[in-house]
Amino acid sequence: MGRSSTPEMVLIFRGTHQVMSAEKHLKKGGVAMRLIPVPRRLTSDCGLAIRIPLDLRDRAREVLSAAKLLPKSAHLLRDQGEYESVPF
């Protein structure tokens, strides 16, 4: 899941434990995702974030809601490396 023309979303969690749990649940739920360092433009209490394709947002929300692991914030990756805060 490298950089592509497919819109992507970055999910920020409250801590490393939540990120690791979210990763496990998303993988089990069949959601393509990648662990990434938190982009410098975004603030977080944790150094890791999860990047998912935007078209998998609904499935990711289903999986994370069922696991009670909703992210602290979600951000849409724009063309010039900018991020827009969006509802998850």
- For residue 86, tell me if it sits in a domain: no
Domain that holds residue 74: 8-78
Rounded Cα–Cα distance for residues 23 and 3 (Å): 19
Q: For residue range 10-62, what is the model confidence (pLDDT) as tens digits? A: 999 999 999 999 999 999 999 999 999 998 878 756 689 999 999 999 999 99
- Number of folded domains in the chain? 1
One-letter amino acid of 42:
L
Can you say how many angstroms the Cα of residue 55 is from the centroid of all Cα atoms in its chain? Answer: 12
| C-alpha–C-alpha distance, residues 3 and 5, integer Å | 7
* Count of Cβ atoms closer than 10 Å to residue 86 Cβ: 13
Task: Give the CATH number for residue 41.
Answer: 3.30.70
63 within some domain = yes
Predicted model pTM:
0.87
Q: Beta strand 73-77 with 34-37: parallel, antiparallel or unpaired? A: unpaired
Which pair of tokens denotes residue 15? 């801590």
pLDDT at 69 over 60: yes
* CB 10, CB 75: distance < 8 Å: yes
